[in-house]
Structure 1
Amino acid sequence: MRLALIAHDEKKPALIEFAKNRSDILSKIDLIATGTTGQRLIDEAGLEIERKQSGPLGGDMQIGAEIANETCDGVIFLRDPLTAQPHEPDITALLRLCDVHETPVATNLATADAVVDELVREKEGDGFEDYE
């Protein structure tokens, strides 16, 4: 199972807190993230992350390519709908790709929990039996 983690600057602390709270299951998942978010998740949540480029350098596009190649099973993109900065990744293209390839995507913490829980449910029997 492969899950992408992305967050606008103002939402990075929330994603890190989410990752810490769900580290029991996230540590069993192949995680990818944009550069800065990935490094913070490594440093602050202690997770193994495959880091792509930072968002402004094309990391969101690299994750988009994984969605298009169907090598990404889900996306958590905590976006800041009120104060996103011009240098931050644009969610529109990723949402389109997720819709085209029927890849679950979460844009807030409530749906992030739902996406992780559903991916785990789908993978029960693949080392996730003891998760609850």
Structure 2
Amino acid sequence: MDEREDAMFKTTGSKWLLPVSGYLGLSLDQVNFLACQLFALVAAFWFRLYLSHASSIVRHAVATLLGIFFLFFCFGWYSAHILAVVAVNYSFIIKADLNNVHRYSMVTAMGYLTVCHMSRVFIFNYGILSTDFSG
């Protein structure tokens, strides 16, 4: 298996569209993302036609659940950190002082995402979790 075909299987997202990925010659992450974009476009028409008369609580709940589904469909368990930082920032929006909420959110988001990305660099590029220490 060459490097390009091997990359198609390295995803934590859904593998339902793996045959489509092979047919199009794109990575599975790209196909999943494109499928979510197209489904979201259809969902937007559905929202406009059928949920425009529903209460705001129903519209927000449906949009939130659909967004979480898209997130896990595309990225799998890698998306857990995104949900965590969103939940923390939402709690800041609810509880923090209005004059400082933007500072708290910025520091939290940038700090948390920097730590996540740096840990991925060390874990995956330097093989910290790997049992093969041959180089």
- TM-score band, normalised by shorter chain: under 0.3
User: What TM-score, normalized by structure 1, do the two folds share?
Assistant: 0.26
Bigger strand fraction: 1
User: What TM-score, normalized by structure 2, do the two folds share?
Assistant: 0.25
Bigger helix fraction: 2
